[in-house]
Structure 1
Amino acid sequence: MKKLALLTGSLLALAFTLGSCSGEPKQDKVLRHVVMFGFKPEVTAEQVKAVEDAFGELPSKIDLIKDYEWGTDCSPEGLQHGLTHCFFVTFYSEADRDAYLVHPAHKEFGKVLGNKASAVTVLDYWTR
């Protein structure tokens, strides 16, 4: 029984050690930057795809972005108010988010988006 306890303790210690070697510090809270778009009726599917692709390239161009995901609306509630796309960008600090906002790659994305959006909503929050 003593050997089992020792082995279990060793495995737990190893698991915690391996889990903390990812290269990124473990964050108790992260800052989420939520961006939602709707598109004007005249915007083509190809133009929407260009916006999706351009946003998706930001994490490879801006190393301050710690995580990224996106998707399109599939809610049956009918409360989207014209919003069809949601992008989640994760940062470790407000300073990182602020630097992202003025980063040249983010500014270039703004040019791709141009006047194609019929609605834009942005909300930032600290996870709990």
Structure 2
Amino acid sequence: MRVADLLDILQITKQSLGRVLRELVQEGFVESRAGESDRRQRLLYPTAKAEQLARDFVGIQNNRIARALEACGPDSRETVRLFLLNMIDPEDRETVERLIQRADRVRQARAARAHAGPGK
């Protein structure tokens, strides 16, 4: 990602981003490189450490969401799904629906393998 794009997304000053970005680079979460076609351009890349942190965070959030859905009861899953889907911009819903369907298939396949037991 270009630094300029990140500034646009976050709507903060270059100086404010610079302080945080310096720390992220020093801590090994972000790598900053010059652009290939324009050496003045700064490109940001997540490191393996950052990607692992993101996976850990997603795992924690997935567990939290699963517990919340479980607490709502079996009849509420579709209502919750529709609510969350309608929180997404209309033009992005179809893509998200496909991702949900794929995740459901993976979850069902894992459950079936676990139910079949080892070696089956």
TM-score range (shorter-chain normalised) is under 0.3
Higher-helix-fraction structure:
2
TM-score of the superposed pair, with normalisation by structure 1:
0.22
Q: Which has the higher relative contact order, 1 or 2, with Cα contacts under 8 A spaced 6 or more apart?
A: 1
Higher-strand-fraction structure:
1
TM-score of the superposed pair, with normalisation by structure 2:
0.23
